[in-house]
Chain A
Amino acid sequence: MIYFDNAATTKAFPEVVRIMEEAMQVIYGNPSAKHIKGMEAENLIKEAQDVIAKSLKAKPGEIFFTSGGTESNNTAIIGTAMKNHRRGKHIITSRIEHASVYEPMRFLEEQGFEVTYLDVDKKGYLRLDELEEAIRPDTTLVSLMFVNNEIGTVQPVKEAGEIIKKKNPETVFHVDAIQAYGKMPITPKNMKIDLLSMSGHKIHGPKGVGFLYVREGTKIQPLIYGGGQQKGMRSGTENVPGIAGLGCACRLMIGEQYENADKIRKIKEYFQERIQEIDDIIDNSGEAPHIASISFKGLRSEVLLHALEEREIYVSSGSACSSNKKQPVSGTLNAIGLPDEYKDGTLRFSFSLENTKEEVDETIEALKELVPMLRRFVRR
């Protein structure tokens, strides 16, 4: 079995599983309880906060736990828009965002907010001059993704942060770092980031947990109300096992961040080199260490995906998150202006520490057989 779908989700580290089991079987107190069982659970949360804060050169109090990337993005976007709606109703984002950014934007448009969608160039990068032009006195939020989930472009986040704060210091800067965290250094303060979203299962942690970094002094309206946990920012008994697992995954990923990223990058580069042996392809990959995006001329990505699946090689078409929708071609793939005969045939290969060069070899051999065979039977 070859798992090249690590941008969709990853296998949990064994240490993560162990600590989660402990959090359910041994340290199972409610962190809000006044007795020692509660305190033990609270300490697990604090440990996770510490690890994560350190990885971002941030303060523990700036880390809020959520149910994952989607909730983090929703909280950041809707929470900021609601909190600042008297000051302004203008928001900026890009055309290549994930659905968990795009859909909250659509919701806000229905509520009377104005959203500017920035275009990207043919390689999938933001144009900073367009960003600068778009910022207005009533712009309350700019939301940009760090690493694109479909093609792996790394956006110039630091430069964007500079421009935003220079033009309008009041504008809140949110960064969706779900594909970036653990793959490259992120320092929100340095990058002028106010809000940053992250998800646990992309870095060998558990599903159903993530965090939102909220820079001290940034005010957002909570989405979820109740018992006032996490300073009222996100009510509900904390997902202690998830948080403990998340903290553990962060510690393991960040500890050797640069080496890890390098190891993954080597696999990806080897893949990019060998994929050139296949005719009529376009390599859309950006510089993220773990994501390769390849468009195959005249093929339907789903068919090639299932053909690889028969050989136990698992990849994504476009991105798994948007695959459920009826729109066959993704926003990002449209935005980078792929020729029509390539658009339908894009696969995403995404790598992790567990992958090897041998797996790449095997995959390339499979593609060499399958691609010409499937190209014989395209829709006439």
Chain B
Amino acid sequence: MKVTAFLIKYGEIAIKGKNRFMFEDALMRQIRFAMKPVGDFDVRKESGRMFVEGRGDFDYDEAVEALQKVFGIVGICPMVVEETKDIDHLRKTVLAFIDEQYPVKDFTFKVHARRGDKQFPMTSMELNMDIGEKLLDAFEGLKVDVHHPDVMVNIEVRKYIYIYSQEIKGPGGMPAGTNGRAMLLLSGGIDSPVAGYMIAKRGVRIDATYFHAPPYTSERAKQKVVDLAKIVAQYAGPIDLHVVNFTDIQLAIYEKCPHDELTIIMRRYMMKIAEHFAKEREDLALITGESIGQVASQTIHNLAITNEVCELPVFRPCIGMDKQEIVDIAEKIGTFETSIQPFEDCCTIFVAKHPVTKGNLKRIQKSEEHLKDVIDDLMKEAIDTTEVIHVK
């Protein structure tokens, strides 16, 4: 009995009151989008449940993997759909389903039937007993345990009859596009793709800005960032990646400002440029992969100084996480292998041996005064020459 459909469980969005329809529609839209490469699927709502049913053959593993990337899904239940509402037929189907799903018949179970269609001749209780008995007769190793069964055999009698017994964990979160857009400052590192993923998980669509500095960074470094954006896009949906040529700004800072403040000043201009594009695209926030104290520019003092240039809120979902915790997520979502490829990014090129760890805003602003003759032109130039790559 092959799995032909999935019951989709979604927790959080079901309680959103009047917005519920909006959330459900967004979820269905995302599921349709995610399932397109897998095959032809019918995605529909039916009395507070969501079903994804194959119209033809599909690869089971591929389908599950695609669904596991759709934010908003809490559980995925592989199931069979029985269209004929005949008790004999149903018994056979359930036996075949259990036979197929569990090659080793040595477990406890409970049948949990729900009769939504009152035309069906048996009540839920009668169904539980009838099917349970048939299972016990058919498979010798099975035992009933109504309190803590190993396997819960669910039978839902609705327009059709749905049979399922296991629930695969979904990613949780909220469907993409239900919470506006934000601009991610994406580097080639481990943290920023994770930050993008975490905010996307809350239903936020993602734009991205990457700063490259040729000839100090290579085409490969840029390709790496495009590759990372592609992985994040599998969860977040298409990403417009803004590639900013940052070399001239970086060199100007390098020439005119104190060396130990270079990184902080650089980051302030990065934020400004990212915010420019964010506003242009009507994004409501910025996202960074910063984590307190991870490097000199991410001490709480320096974060505050970087933050000072922004008008939009800056989301830093990794802020309280240890490196290992961030790495664990990077591995889970599949960005880690790409992130650790050894190409220099523009932050590492001119790093001072002893960068300031407790920056002083007044002093930094004073240092930035040295740039005042050139910076407006350089910023404009960087913005005007930015390349936008549509990543999906």
User: What is the interface of chain A, defined by CB distance below 8 A to chain B?
Assistant: 302-310, 326, 374, 376-377, 379-380
User: What is the interface of chain B, defined by CB distance below 8 A to chain A?
Assistant: 214-219, 251, 254-255, 259, 342, 344, 349-350, 352
Q: Could you tell me the dominant secondary structure of chain A's interface residues? A: helix
Are A303 and B215 in contact, CB atoms less than 8 angstroms apart? yes
Are A377 and B215 in contact, CB atoms less than 8 angstroms apart? no
Are A309 and B216 in contact, CB atoms less than 8 angstroms apart? no
Residues in chain B near residue A303, CB distance under 8 A: 215-216
B296 to chain A: closest CB distance in Å? Answer: 16
Tally the A-B contacts, defined by beta carbons under 8 Å.
Answer: 31
Bound-complex Cα distance A379 to B259 (A): 10
Bound-complex Cα distance A303 to B82 (A): 65
Residues in chain A near residue B216, CB distance under 8 A: 303, 306
Residue of A nearest to B350 (CB): A379
Bound-complex Cα distance A163 to B215 (A): 48
Residue of A304, A309, A377 near B251 (CB, 8 A) is A377
Are A310 and B342 in contact, CB atoms less than 8 angstroms apart? no
| Further contacts, 7 of them, CB under 8 A, given A302-B344, A310-B214 | A303-B215, A306-B214, A326-B342, A376-B255, A377-B254, A379-B349, A380-B259
Are A380 and B352 in contact, CB atoms less than 8 angstroms apart? yes
**With contact pairs A326-B342, A380-B259 given, residues A304 and B254 touching in the complex (Cβ less than 8 Å):** no
Residue of B nearest to A379 (CB): B350
Are B218 and A302 in contact, CB atoms less than 8 angstroms apart? yes
B213 to chain A: closest CB distance in Å? Answer: 10
A106 to chain B: closest CB distance in Å? Answer: 21
Question: Which of A307, A308, A376, A380 has most B Cβ within 10 Å?
Answer: A380
Bound-complex Cα distance A104 to B344 (A): 30
Bound-complex Cα distance A302 to B345 (A): 13
Residues in chain A near residue B217, CB distance under 8 A: 306
Residue of A nearest to B220 (CB): A306
Residues in chain B near residue A379, CB distance under 8 A: 349-350
Bound-complex Cα distance A351 to B104 (A): 67
Residue of B nearest to A308 (CB): B215
Residues in chain A near residue B219, CB distance under 8 A: 306, 309
Residues in chain A near residue B349, CB distance under 8 A: 379
Are B215 and A310 in contact, CB atoms less than 8 angstroms apart? yes
Residue of B215, B259, B342, B352 near A307 (CB, 8 A) is B215
Residues in chain A near residue B352, CB distance under 8 A: 380
Residues in chain B near residue A376, CB distance under 8 A: 255
Residue of A nearest to B251 (CB): A377
Residue of B214, B215, B344, B350 near A304 (CB, 8 A) is B215
Return 30 A-B CB contacts under 8 Å, by A number.
A302-B218, A302-B344, A303-B215, A303-B216, A304-B215, A305-B215, A306-B214, A306-B215, A306-B216, A306-B217, A306-B218, A306-B219, A307-B214, A307-B215, A308-B215, A309-B215, A309-B218, A309-B219, A310-B214, A310-B215, A326-B342, A374-B215, A376-B255, A377-B251, A377-B254, A377-B255, A377-B350, A379-B349, A379-B350, A380-B352
A125 to chain B: closest CB distance in Å? Answer: 33
Residues in chain B near residue A304, CB distance under 8 A: 215
B109 to chain A: closest CB distance in Å? Answer: 51
Bound-complex Cα distance A190 to B346 (A): 54
